[in-house]
């Protein structure tokens, strides 16, 4: 039996809500065999990040080589890549092994607005990752950091999408959750020719940890089983909306989204 495989290259979240852990949970929910390359180990929980400990660069390269020599992924996603040097190395190995269907979740800005990567890493993201990305999924602060555009309305969001396309990304999804636009959240999708919007009800919840990781991992899983980009994004929107609506109330801070909510809903309606 042929098994679709997806690889995540990201940091570990000890709290289990985001990063590698969220990605592997999501892959499993889509029936995809998940593999992982760790860029860093983080000490974190629902209240925040208490420490970040990068994997040695040689360890990163050995992990990538191990996957490339034996377990060719049908799709790949990147999350927290830690630094410009790590970004350059990951891009090198993606090209070396000819991995397709690269989904780049440019984890650069924390929910509170703090920049997680410096200018050098942003430059590396633009130079090495965007040109080889099939899909890039920035939130508003990340799109602002990558483009230098202040995004405070729909027109600015469209301008940022055009600029990201010019930088090499083939498909762009700019997530609109950070924009204050009332009871709805609007994500902008651009395929290089036309733009369309995905509109969902804004969920009033504090349990949103891992939203971006989970959404991009769902896209990655869908691509690995042969879905078109448009179909992958549409299905992933349904998946993440269910995960947010049925978030898990654990810990004393921002709890995680619910990775098994969508499957349960589908089962209940069968």
pLDDT score of 230? 96
Average pLDDT, the chain: 91
pLDDT digits (tens, 9 = 90+) for 37-66: 999 999 999 998 888 899 999 999 999 999
The active-site residue out of 8, 211, 214, 220 is 211
Residue 196 designated active-site: no
Is 112's pLDDT higher than 60? no
The active-site residue out of 8, 78, 147, 208 is 208
pLDDT score of 268? 62
- Cβ-based neighbours of 11, under 8 Å, separated by 6 or more: 19, 20, 38, 39, 40, 41, 42, 52, 79, 80, 82, 107
Q: What is the DSSP letter of 257?
A: P
Pairing outcome for strands 75-78 and 171-174: unpaired
pLDDT digits (tens, 9 = 90+) for 124-177: 999 999 999 999 999 998 999 899 999 998 899 999 999 999 999 999 999 987
pLDDT score of 48? 87
**Cα dihedral 55, 97, 3, 265 sign:** positive
Give the count of beta carbons closer than 10 Å to the beta carbon of residue 253: 14
Helix (H) or strand (E) holding 40: strand 33-45
- Measured CA to CA, the distance from residue 251 to residue 47 in angstroms comes to 8
pLDDT digits (tens, 9 = 90+) for 182-198: 788 889 999 999 999 99
Burial environment of residue 53 by CB neighbours within 10 A (0 to 12, 13 to 18, 19 or more): exposed
pLDDT score of 2? 86
The active-site residue out of 11, 210, 247, 255 is 210
Residue 16 designated active-site: no
Residue 253 designated active-site: no
Is 111's pLDDT higher than 50? no
| Helices and strands of the chain, counted as H and E runs | 9, 9
Residue 158 designated active-site: no
**Cα dihedral 199, 111, 32, 92 sign:** positive
Residue 65 designated active-site: no
Residue 208 designated active-site: yes
Q: Could you tell me the CA-to-CA distances from 154 to 54, 181, 185, 230 in Å, in that order?
A: 37, 10, 12, 20
Helix (H) or strand (E) holding 43: strand 33-45
Contact 129, 85 (CB under 8 A): no
């Amino acid at each position: 039996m042929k098994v679709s495989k997806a690889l995540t290259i990201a940091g570990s979240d000890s709290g289990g809500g985001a990063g590698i852990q969220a990605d592997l949970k999501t892959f499993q929910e889509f029936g995809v065999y998940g593999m992982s390359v760790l860029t860093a180990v983080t000490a974190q929980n629902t209240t925040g990040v208490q420490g970040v400990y990068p994997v040695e660069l040689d360890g990163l390269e050995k992990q990538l080589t191990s996957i490339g020599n034996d377990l060719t992924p049908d799709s790949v996603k990147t999350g927290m890549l830690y630094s410009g040097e790590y970004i350059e190395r990951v891009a090198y190995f993606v090209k070396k092994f000819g991995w397709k269907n690269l989904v780049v979740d440019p984890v650069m800005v924390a929910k509170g607005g703090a920049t997680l990567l410096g200018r050098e890493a942003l430059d590396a993201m633009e130079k090495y990752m965007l040109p080889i990305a099939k899909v890039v999924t920035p939130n508003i602060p990340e799109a602002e950091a990558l483009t230098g555009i202040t995004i405070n309305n729909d027109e600015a969001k469209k301008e940022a999408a055009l600029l990201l396309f010019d930088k090499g990304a083939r498909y762009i999804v700019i997530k609109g959750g950070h924009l204050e636009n009332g009871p709805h959240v609007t994500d902008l999708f651009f395929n290089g020719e036309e733009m369309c919007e995905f509109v969902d009800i804004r969920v009033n919840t504090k349990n949103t940890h891992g939203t971006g990781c989970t959404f991009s991992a769902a896209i990655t899983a869908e691509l690995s089983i042969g879905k078109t980009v448009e179909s992958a994004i549409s299905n992933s929107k349904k998946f993440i909306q269910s995960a947010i609506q049925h978030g898990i109330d654990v810990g004393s801070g921002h709890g995680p989204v619910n990775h098994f909510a969508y499957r349960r809903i589908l089962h209940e309606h069968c």
